[in-house]
A and B are shown apart, each in its own frame.
Chain A
Amino acid sequence: MSSFTKSAQQWATFARSWYLIDARMQPPGKIATMCAIRLQGKHKPIYHALSDVGDHVVVMNSRHIAFSGNKWEQKMYSSHTQYPGGFKQVTATQLHSKDPKAIVKLAVYGMLPRNLSRRTMMQRLHLFPEDDLPEDILLNLTEELPQPREIPRRLNEYSQEEREAFPTLWTPPEDYRRK
Chain B
Amino acid sequence: MVAFRKVFIVTHHPKTVMASGYIVNRGVLTFGIHYQHVSRNVLLTHTREKKRWMKAYTLLMERKLKIEGPPPPKPRAQKPNWDYHAEVQAFSSRLKESFSPELLKTAFVNPCYIQSEQERRQALGVDSEMAALVLGDNIQLHRQGLVFTKSFLSDWCRASFPSLPSMGVVAIVAHLTSHPVVCLVAQNLAIEDLTMSAQFPVPDEVLHSTFLAVIGALHESSGAERAGFFLRDFLVTQLVGKDLFEMWSVVNPMGLLVEELSKRNRALPEPRLTRSAGAGTVLPLYFVGLYSDKKLLAEAPGETVLAAEEEAARVALRKLYGYTENRRPCDFSAAAQPQAPGLQSFSSS
Instruction: Check B283–A15 contact: CB distance below 8 A.
Output: yes
Most chain-B Cβ atoms within 10 A of its Cβ — which of A6, A11, A17?
Answer: A11
Instruction: List the B side residues contacting A9 at CB < 8 Å.
Output: 301
Q: Is A16 an interface residue (CB 8 A)?
A: yes
Instruction: Check A5–B278 contact: CB distance below 8 A.
Output: no
A-B contact count (CB 8 A): 64
Known: A11-B285, A12-B285, A15-B285. A4 touches B300 (CB 8 A): yes
* Residue-wise interface mask of A (100-126) relative to B, using a CB-CB cutoff of 8 A (1 in contact, 0 not): 000000000000000000000000000
Instruction: List the A side residues contacting B314 at CB < 8 Å.
Output: 5
Instruction: Check A17–B324 contact: CB distance below 8 A.
Output: no
In the assembled complex, the CB of B262 is this many whole angstroms from the nearest CB of chain A, namely 23
CA distance A3 to B324 in the complex (A): 5
How many A residues touch B, CB cutoff 8 Å?
19
CB nearest to B327 among chain A residues: A3
Known: A139-B279, A143-B275. A5 touches B285 (CB 8 A): no
Instruction: Check B276–A142 contact: CB distance below 8 A.
Output: yes
Known: A11-B285, A16-B283. A3 touches B326 (CB 8 A): yes
Instruction: Please provide the chain B residues from 266 to 297 with a CB less than 8 Å away from any CB of chain A in the complex.
Output: 275-281, 283-285, 287
Known: A136-B280, A139-B280. A2 touches B275 (CB 8 A): no
CA distance A9 to B326 in the complex (A): 15
Known: A3-B318, A5-B311. A12 touches B301 (CB 8 A): yes
In the assembled complex, the CB of A94 is this many whole angstroms from the nearest CB of chain B, namely 36
Neighbour of B277 across the interface among A3, A6, A8, A16, CB < 8 A: A16
Instruction: Check B277–A140 contact: CB distance below 8 A.
Output: yes
Instruction: Check B278–A4 contact: CB distance below 8 A.
Output: no
In the assembled complex, the CB of B264 is this many whole angstroms from the nearest CB of chain A, namely 19
Q: Looking at chain B, what size class is its interface with the partner chain?
A: 20 to 34
CA distance A86 to B188 in the complex (A): 76
Instruction: Check A6–B243 contact: CB distance below 8 A.
Output: yes
Neighbour of A15 across the interface among B245, B278, B300, B319, CB < 8 A: B278
Instruction: Check B326–A2 contact: CB distance below 8 A.
Output: yes
CA distance A136 to B278 in the complex (A): 9
Instruction: Check B301–A4 contact: CB distance below 8 A.
Output: yes
CB nearest to B303 among chain A residues: A11
Known: A5-B243, A12-B301. A18 touches B324 (CB 8 A): no
The 10 A-B residue pairs whose C-beta atoms are closest, nearest first, are A12-B301, A15-B285, A142-B277, A139-B280, A3-B324, A3-B325, A17-B277, A139-B279, A136-B280, A3-B318
Residues of B within 8 A of A (CB): 243, 245, 275-281, 283-285, 287, 300-303, 307-308, 311, 314-315, 318-319, 323-326
Besides A8-B302, A136-B280, 13 other A-B contacts (C-beta < 8 A): A3-B315, A3-B325, A4-B311, A4-B315, A8-B300, A15-B278, A15-B284, A15-B301, A17-B277, A140-B278, A142-B275, A142-B276, A142-B277
